[in-house]
Amino acid sequence: MEKENYKLVISGPLGVGKTTAVAALCRGNLLTTEEIYRERSRERARRQKKTTTIAFDYGAIHLEGGCLHVYGTPGQDRFGFMWDILTEGGLGLILLMDNTRPAPLDDLRYFVGIFRDFIAKSGLVVGVTRTDDRPRPRLSDYRAALEKEGISRCPVFEIDARLRENILMLAQALLYQIDPNLAKLNS
Amino acid sequence: MTTNENFTAAISANPPAPGSRATRLCAMGFGASDLDHLESMLWEFGNNAFAVAPLSEAEVLFFNGDLPGCATIIRRLRQHRKCPIIVVGSTPHENIPDVQFLQYPLTPDTLMETLYRIVPLPGLSTGAEDYRAEKNGAEPAAASGASPEINIPVLEDAQEDEGAVQTNPRNAAGALERNLGVFDHYAGFVHDVNLDDPLQTHRVYFNPNGYLSEYLRRSLIVMGKEAALIDVAIQDQRILLDLTGNRWGGDMNEELLQRSCLGPLRNKPKIRLIGRSGVRGKVSAQGKEETVPGLADFSGKEQLLLNHRMRRAEFIIAQIALWCARGRLREGTDIHTPLSLRHWPNLPCLPRLQGAMQMAALWMLHPCSLAQTIEITGLKQRQVFAFYTVCDSLCLFVDQPSVAAPTADDEWVERIRSALHSTHNKPDPQSSRGILPAFLRRLLSKVWK
């Protein structure tokens, strides 16, 4: 029997924890395209981040009857041409937002705008990181921003991208978004 | 400090039934009225469950926590007798290690739950018989008016070898776990009941009046979207809930908080509400806001929450509600009213409950009552009730859905039920739509569980 292939995409701004999230979902079985920074950047200095993803992060989960491919998009705009390629035929999107960035709600609108078509035919969950460093904007602000973009009743969670349990919660909520019947039949 | 004679006489007059062994209790330092109250509650659990014993033979020691120098006395008592100690008092003590604390006013439920947590009660045959009768389909004793119904767990092993003396605490703890399951920190011991039977359904309710969770709930309702800071003073301890920053702080630690949640508070807490736009007030007993002039203002510049904890304010609100409810429902909760959530709960920051994600998804998708949720998800009642308590404490439920909703809901539940019994977990091989759900279910159950 031929195996079905499914795809899940994780996206968000630079340094939000996408690579960590892919590793968490795939239990560390990760193929990444990390490169050492060669340019100076205030943002990078603030995060003490030495590497960045230039193509994508990739992990796979093989199960009976199918394989789930998990892709983490590169965070920098200049690698934006990869985003359409990665989302093609995807099941859903996990969007990670960094609350300590200068305008996180603008980031949200930006990413929702980019992936609008993809979100319309799949599922979306939003994970907000670093809320302990800066509590505002609050989750209700994210929900309101999503409502304005025409996305309602979407799960928005405060998470720590380093905690596998938190990433799993995002993934579980996404699965319930993709197939609502899971909530009823998974007894 | 004396062992009360009334208490001794009352229980000694009803010695344990032949073949069963009563749990030996010793009560120290209480006044007559407090002892009467304690004694009357212990009587509710059956007249052969407890016997008074001198300190040297006591299996459980009740101690008056309001006595001066209570901590010192308990330390000395421990040198004579190593047994579980239940301190009953009006003020929580944090400086006495390894004691159970019960705060006045004492209720039979909290007393029994505490006793069950720390000692096996082999003499407690009344509840066991009821449970056995229920399992066999017979009418429980309480239903026939033979004894009062108490929402307590049952020791099956203990009833099988009544008369066996369980002296080893480790064995006793093992037996307790086998029979009741590990005590669920948030969902208590509450057994599933037949929700169509009003007598049994009555057991899952508790009266929330006087509980800390009820005060907080009223405060949140009063504040609505204006909420910024709730300042709760219980005796001389404070809890500060910063709802804007989703933080909490104050000088009360979680252990002390939990103790305050075991029963209704003896003294009404003082609650101040401070809104974002400078609205200041306190909550009256009826849950209405009253403006209080002359209180300290709260603004971004004035930092009231200096020692905030890592956990979120919504976590502690939910946790307080769970501690107070312990798997039960507030009186007046209709288990047949469809429930719908305003938005997804912030689950990573809330207490971990089994099936929480599943129930959140369900209540986001379609109005669904508690009874239907239990049926559809297959979760234990107390787990469903616990998650309901969390969502209710955070005011996450949409106000009553329209009257037309239940009809549609019934149809929907029927559809799901038929799906459950006919094509459960069988993907349609002809359709890719059938393969995907099966794959997602495997992901949920095997990889991302």
- Encode pLDDT of A97-110 as tens digits: 999 988 999 999 99
A169, B357: Cβ pair inside 8 Å?
A: yes
∠ CA B419-B425-B426, rounded to 5° = 90
**pLDDT confidence of residue B317:** 92
Collapsed DSSP state (helix, strand, coil) of residue B400? coil
In Å, how far is A46's CA from the nearest CA of chain B?
A: 23
Segment B399-415 shows an average pLDDT of: 48
Calculate what percentage of chain B has a pLDDT beyond 90: 10
Q: Which residue of A has its CA nearest to B435?
A: A65
pLDDT in tens, A55-92: 668 888 887 777 888 888 876 666 666 777 777 778 89
Output the CA torsion sign for A173, A177, A178, A184.
Answer: positive
* Mean model confidence pLDDT for chain A: 81
Segment A156-161 shows an average pLDDT of: 92
Pairs of CB atoms within 8 A across A/B: 125
A157, B344: Cβ pair inside 8 Å?
A: yes
Of the two residues B345 and B197, the one the predictor is more confident about is B345
Task: Mean pLDDT check: name the lowest of A161-165, B68-72, B340-344, B406-410.
Answer: B406-410
Q: Which residue of B has its CA nearest to A142?
A: B343
**pLDDT confidence of residue B426:** 37
B446, A63: Cβ pair inside 8 Å?
A: yes
Chain A window 65-94: which residues touch B at a Cβ cutoff of 8 Å?
Answer: 65-66, 68, 91
Segment B151-161 shows an average pLDDT of: 34
Calculate what percentage of chain B has a pLDDT beyond 70: 58
CB contacts of A160 in chain B (<8 Å) are: 348
Task: Mean pLDDT check: name the lowest of A134-143, B40-49, B105-114, B301-310.
Answer: B301-310
∠ CA B382-B417-B434, rounded to 5° = 115
CB contacts of A65 in chain B (<8 Å) are: 435, 438-439, 442
Calculate what percentage of chain A has a pLDDT beyond 70: 78
A182, B312: Cβ pair inside 8 Å?
A: no
Segment B32-50 shows an average pLDDT of: 71
* Whole-number Å distance between alpha carbons of B257 and A179: 40
Helix pair A164-178, A18-25: axis angle to 10 deg: 80
Q: Which residues sit opposite A157 in a β-bridge?
A: A127
Of the two residues B411 and B115, the one the predictor is more confident about is B115
* Whole-number Å distance between alpha carbons of A170 and B388: 21
Non-local CB neighbours of B153 within 8 Å, separated by 6+ positions: B116, B127, B179, B180, B189, B191
Predicted confidence band of residue A38 (pLDDT cuts 50, 70, 90) = low
pLDDT in tens, B357-384: 999 999 998 788 999 999 888 888 888 9
Q: Which residue of A has its CA nearest to B424?
A: A185
Task: Mean pLDDT check: name the lowest of A76-90, B113-127, B225-239, B389-403.
Answer: B113-127
Residue identified by tokens 């659990």 is B45
* Whole-number Å distance between alpha carbons of B346 and A166: 11
Nearest to B361 among A132, A168, A176 (CB): A176
In Å, how far is B433's CA from the nearest CA of chain A?
A: 10
**Residue B143 pLDDT > 70, yes or no?**
no
The DSSP call for residue B22 is P
**pLDDT confidence of residue B87:** 87
Nearest to B420 among A91, A165, A185 (CB): A185
* Whole-number Å distance between alpha carbons of B412 and B406: 10
Q: B247: which 2 tokens?
A: 């933080």
Q: Give the residue from B241, B342, B358 with the most A CB atoms within 10 Å of its CB, the best one to mutate.
A: B358
| Best-predicted range by mean pLDDT (A147-151, B148-152, B283-287) | A147-151
Task: Mean pLDDT check: name the lowest of A140-149, B13-22, B30-39, B45-54.
Answer: B13-22
Q: Find the DSSP H helices in B263-404.
A: 313-325, 356-365, 370-377, 381-393
Nearest to A185 among B244, B310, B425 (CB): B425
Indicate the pTM of the whole model.
0.67
Predicted confidence band of residue A14 (pLDDT cuts 50, 70, 90) = confident
Q: Which residue of A has its CA nearest to B354?
A: A187
Segment B150-178 shows an average pLDDT of: 42
The DSSP call for residue B159 is H
Predicted confidence band of residue B339 (pLDDT cuts 50, 70, 90) = very high
Residue identified by tokens 């939003």 is A126
* Whole-number Å distance between alpha carbons of B138 and B265: 38
* Whole-number Å distance between alpha carbons of A153 and B344: 7
∠ CA B212-B217-B223, rounded to 5° = 125
B246, A131: Cβ pair inside 8 Å?
A: yes
pLDDT in tens, B76-127: 888 777 888 888 887 766 677 778 888 777 777 777 777 777 765 444 333 3
| Best-predicted range by mean pLDDT (A36-50, A54-68, A141-155, B403-417) | A141-155
Nearest to A180 among B365, B420, B435 (CB): B365
∠ CA B185-B187-B188, rounded to 5° = 75
End-to-end distance of chain A based on CA atoms, in angstroms? 28
* Whole-number Å distance between alpha carbons of B278 and B290: 14
CB contacts of B436 in chain A (<8 Å) are: 4, 6, 91, 178-179
Of B135, B191, B192, B182, the closest CA to residue B159 belongs to: B135
ipTM value: 0.85
Segment B239-264 shows an average pLDDT of: 80
Predicted confidence band of residue B139 (pLDDT cuts 50, 70, 90) = very low
Of B179, B150, B152, B163, the closest CA to residue B123 belongs to: B163
Task: Mean pLDDT check: name the lowest of A78-82, B197-201, B426-430.
Answer: B426-430
**Chain B residues with CB within 8 Å of chain A CB:** 244-247, 310, 312, 343-344, 346-349, 357-362, 364-365, 376-379, 416, 419-420, 424-425, 432, 435-448
pLDDT in tens, B260-283: 887 788 788 888 877 655 444 555
Predicted confidence band of residue B390 (pLDDT cuts 50, 70, 90) = very high
**Residue B387 pLDDT > 80, yes or no?**
yes
Segment B131-138 shows an average pLDDT of: 41
